[in-house]
Chains A and B, each alone.
Chain A
């Protein structure tokens, strides 16, 4: 069984400030971890993923995430928020074999000018 918990359904940040979105997971096997972004009335777009190897993963649009096995976490960060980062972000966990993704409840990011 696998599950994902995203802390905070809404996050408000000022333009230029750090963006930090928290994600904790549970998985009975080594996980694949993903962050997706969803803009209004659109599908989900892959930001970044962790499967194996380096635990610090860089993605598109300046985002990165770090896999911490001891903390079962995969938090998403961006050093400086831009207005275009306003969207909903989903963390997801999968397993290596016959993969299906389990998504968290999402975090909506609001960027203030």
Chain B
């Protein structure tokens, strides 16, 4: 089966600019997650979708970050305006089991550098 697709792989922007990341999960996976991985740290959950509804966005900095999954398939994560501390790898993951007990399948991530 095809894996989780993410684009772009790399992005360099100046602070205060906006940026968007795209994710296409594995077909049939209802649950989609966006994680932020800062260099040297473990991934941190930003937002969790179940189909096109938000399950958990408690750690999403809502003043600058937004995410949507309009048709319950693809998802986009946006940052506007970006700050230097947003430099990180943004990982998308999906799971078939609504409880996540099967483990996630991760995409390769988008590496964002804010200068």
Name A's B-contacting residues (CB within 8 A): 4, 9, 32, 34, 36, 41-46, 49, 51, 90, 92, 94, 96-106
Task: Tell me if A104 and B104 are in contact (CB < 8 A).
Answer: no
Taken together as a complex, chains A and B put the C-alpha atoms of A100 and B103 apart, in Å, by 10
Q: How far is the CB of A79 from chain B (nearest CB, A)?
A: 23
| Chain A-chain B contacts (Cβ-Cβ < 8 Å), number | 67
Selected contact of B108 from candidates A9, A43, A51, A98, CB within 8 Å: A43
Taken together as a complex, chains A and B put the C-alpha atoms of A49 and B103 apart, in Å, by 7
List 22 A-B residue pairs with CB atoms under 8 Å apart, sorted by A's residue number: A4-B42, A9-B40, A32-B101, A43-B4, A43-B91, A43-B109, A44-B43, A44-B104, A46-B105, A49-B101, A92-B42, A98-B55, A98-B99, A99-B100, A99-B101, A100-B33, A101-B45, A101-B104, A102-B45, A103-B42, A104-B42, A105-B40
